[in-house]
Amino acid sequence: MLTIIVLTIVVFIALYLYGTRTFNYWKIRGVKHDRPYAFVGNNFRQFVQKSSLAMTATELYKKYPNEKVVGYYRSSTPELIIRDPDIAKRIVSTDFEHFYARGLHPDKTVTEPILKNLFFLDGDLWRLLRQRFTPVFSTGKLKAMFPLITERAEKLQQLAEEVAHLDFYDMRELMARYTTDFIGACGFGINMDSLSSENSEFRKLGKRIFQRTPRDALRGAMKFMFPELCNNVHLLAPEIEESIRHLVLSVLKEKNYKPSGRNDFIDLLLELREQGDMVGESIEKRNEDGTPIVINQALDIDLMVAQVFVFFGAGFETSSSASSYLLHQLAFNPNCQVKVQEEMDKVMLEYDDKLTYDAVKEMTYLEMAFNEGLRMYPPVAFIYRECKSSKYTIPEIDLTIDEGVKIMIPTQAIHNDEKYFDDPGKFDPERFNPENKQNRKYIYMPFGEGPRACVGARLGQMQAMAGVAAILHKFSVEPAACSVRNPAPEPTAIVAESFVGGLPVKLKKRIK
């Protein structure tokens, strides 16, 4: 009996030591931080779905107003929250070669096939994909895609007509149906029917990608707490990967694995594949003389499926978040809404009442309002990086960190800091007029900055602005009885942010 008691005590001590093994990291470096707890670190509330990562980062950002950096432990992994724009610039741009890894995945290398995409990948494969994909989002390609946006925007107006008689409708859901439908046409060359039915299979898939179930939360927590034991545990639910893979393979088979001339995303992937292996200089490996080695990688089916997954997920979610939040703000700021509509009416007259690429580009006040919405609530609320150098010193604060330390730049918190934006809680598009727009870099980063900035940012912006223009050209938005001016953030959100209860507003037919 005594032996069992002693063994139990030894096991508990060993577990405790394992669960707290890194907790002196920030203390010995003089970095302020909250007290961490065994196994969970400072991340307990996120693990139990009471706080999103963005909410946690914002809380710590506000808690230490006089610090340039704040320490944090996600489970036992030391992370660093950046509060200073100069250091942020260093991380994402100046010293990018030390921080090229996004580091979002808890494993040292991404093993899930569907996560081997531009957003999650690090290192050489990321660089090869980035170089190959950047031309896909050129101005010419965007203009070629825009008729698809126009077609979906007109269908969006029809749907708005159907729900305008209701006391309220969730703009988050309305705009997600629009963006999902567009991504279906632009990405796959198919009609996803999301605008015709909120219960369409594709809308359900889109919701599931960004839904964090208790199963997802448990698996994520286990991977961070016991990374060695859970190396082969997948973060994403199997049904997500199965659905995307089945969808892509079906479209590829229909196209006979060759470009069809539709100019959709899968066509572009097939065109890139026909160009042969991706070839480029390594960001990770060097020859003996210090020059980067040349690497190559085939764009195989698995990689194509992974890129389509991120195009689908990121393409509809971030744009729908940005556009719906802008409509929410305009409902509560009718003077700004009138300015958007007056400018829009004037521009549309010049283009025979048609939403075109050039028409949307001329809606400068709409763009100012869009940028202000992104300032107040960027859909992706933080920039994440991982140190890839054995030792790296941040010169501004003489702080040396080790390889593997994760870095978080809480963009949402920076965007709403009165140090950088006067009266940050006020919706004021004039902050982004041509005179005031200067010197915003590294304090305004809704699409990231540097070599890992969002490659599809312009497409997302055009899609979102066209959707808002389609709504406001025919309707006005105003608060409903259930609308909340400052909606509560969704604590179960993962990469993209959301709101508890959505963004309900009242649509009202315009009389011109």
Annotated binding site for heme: 454
C-alpha span between 315 and 320 (Å, rounded)? 9
Provide the token pair at 311: 């195009």
Amino acid at 269: L
Provide the token pair at 460: 């997302």
C-alpha span between 166 and 61 (Å, rounded)? 40
**Dihedral sign of CA atoms 386, 389, 390, 395 in order:** negative
The residues pairing with 499 across neighbouring beta strands, listed in sequence order, are 489
Give yes or no for a contact between 469 and 156, defined as CB atoms under 8 angstroms apart: no
Q: Is 401 helix (H, G, I), strand (E, B) or coil?
A: strand
- What distance lies between CA 448 and its chain's CA centroid? 9
Going by C-alpha positions, the residue among 207, 187, 472, 213 that lies closest to residue 317 is 207
C-alpha span between 359 and 362 (Å, rounded)? 5
C-alpha span between 400 and 259 (Å, rounded)? 50
Going by C-alpha positions, the residue among 469, 497, 395, 506 that lies closest to residue 68 is 395
Provide the token pair at 491: 């604590």
Going by C-alpha positions, the residue among 25, 14, 2 that lies closest to residue 387 is 25
- Structure-derived torsion over alpha carbons of residues 232, 314, 455, 279, reported in degrees to the nearest 10: 40
Provide the token pair at 66: 């006089």
User: 324-354 burial, b for 16+ CB within 10 Å, e for fewer?
Assistant: bbbbbbbbbbeebbebbbebbeebbeeeeee
Q: Is 74 helix (H, G, I), strand (E, B) or coil?
A: strand
Going by C-alpha positions, the residue among 384, 383, 401 that lies closest to residue 392 is 401
C-alpha span between 10 and 5 (Å, rounded)? 9
Strand order in the sheet with 169-170: 169-170, 504-509, 475-479
Provide the token pair at 441: 């870099």
Query: Which are the contacts of 444, defined by CB distance < 8 A and separation ≥ 6?
Result: 371, 375, 415
**Dihedral sign of CA atoms 320, 143, 451, 366 in order:** negative
Per the annotation, binding residues are 454
Query: Which are the contacts of 166, defined by CB distance < 8 A and separation ≥ 6?
Result: 507
